Structure 1
Amino acid sequence: MEFSPFNHVVKLCIQGMSMEEKDHHEEARKLFMQGWDEATNDHEKFLSAYYISRHQKTVSDKLKWLETALQYALKINDSTVESALPALYLNIAKCYEDLSDPQKAKENSELAAIQLKNNPSDKGPFYHGTKAALQIGDLLVAGGNSNYKSEFKMNHIYFTALVNGAGLAAALAKGEGRERVYIVEPTGVYENDPNLTDKKFPGNPTRSYRSQTPLKIIGEATDWHKPNPEELQKFREKLESSEGEIIN
């Protein structure tokens, strides 16, 4: 399953997070439980269980939901959730530490370290969304202005492994040209985008990355979903109130 902010269960989780930000924790818990009850696949179960764990009154109950989230994450076994495994294992280790089980805490801490060593493990293909007209062979380099807020200088170049995520970035980018989604190839090392990873959602479900080395354009993707005007307006409003976080 490709992560999408327009998925029904993801929308419920987003609504729950909004309630958390307003300190309406009981309303948030109900929304996350609704997501669990209405989930139809392993990925939706994983997400909702993760959020439910944050609203448990005892360490034992929190551990139960974290291990449920881990169970579904391991069943999915793809790059969408692999980046969430280090934090999941560390949270589980903390629960075992609080429950005075140092052996289990150590086991899960070691599993977190193994997962961190392998992240990011995404092999692509990778995409970059923009309104700039570029050619195959051109290089996208860090140091330019943000696609969304021109007052921000970018120390990294950002990209994603989700073609529809890059399409959303292209639709939101400033400029008068048509939306373009380029297929890109990193020329050096890259890392999970820290603006997104483990901030709102567990791990890096948007498969968003950044690099200080250039991205080489190797093609252009044409088969991607263009958000409708109402969806775009909601994202534009979020960008206006943000501090320059990257959507890509």
Structure 2
Amino acid sequence: MLHTGRNFFDNEEVFENYWQLRGRNVNANALLEEPVIEELLPAVNGLSILDLGCGDGQFGERLLQRGAASFFGVDAAEKMLTRAKERLSGTNSTLLHGTFEEVSLPEGQFDLVLSRLALHYVDDLASVFEKVQKSLISGGKLIFSVEHPLQTASTHQQGATPEGLLIDDYFLSGAREIEWLGGRVQKFHRTLEDYFITLQQAGFTVETLRESKPKREVFPTEAEFLRRSRYPLFLFLVGQKR
């Protein structure tokens, strides 16, 4: 059965496999994605923050503990939001169920919008960026991570081969169907240029572009560090509302 970003993580097998993967000592999110997000984040004290793809609310909890004034989380997976509501109970937080395309966001309210490894499930990215731009205060920022375009381009691979990463159909942007975590899910491939230009056209000045270049000090073994140094897994962009 093919799942979309809306219902993929509500599949029981996928949900359990996801948390097993995240619970490993060596996982890409913790070693490659999160360190860059932390570097890109400004001081959050007093900020009103929107998180598109808030998951179980772990990161929202951390931001509130650091002094964020409020947290607004959106997620399409009911299983994720159930955990988030339990975790964030009693905090200055709002949680909304729905896809990024369909939810209504308050305009001119947020200082910072985050989205971590969620926007590659979105078909109409331009409309989401435009909605986010309207939700930000003047000068507010959007920080997001996605699977690197080199990862999403080809459907002929599940990770790297011993010879390297197979890159195919890179300039053919659009839907891709892959097997992952015990399910079949639809993601959307875009080139690096696509992300950059779509962000600009939505009214953002692109401030920063980063990739998930590994740092030796966060890896438990030299072998794992070298394995993760072969090709990028994640892409990061920071845009400021013009």
TM-score (norm 2): 0.30
Higher helix share: 1
TM-score (norm 1): 0.30
Higher strand share: 2
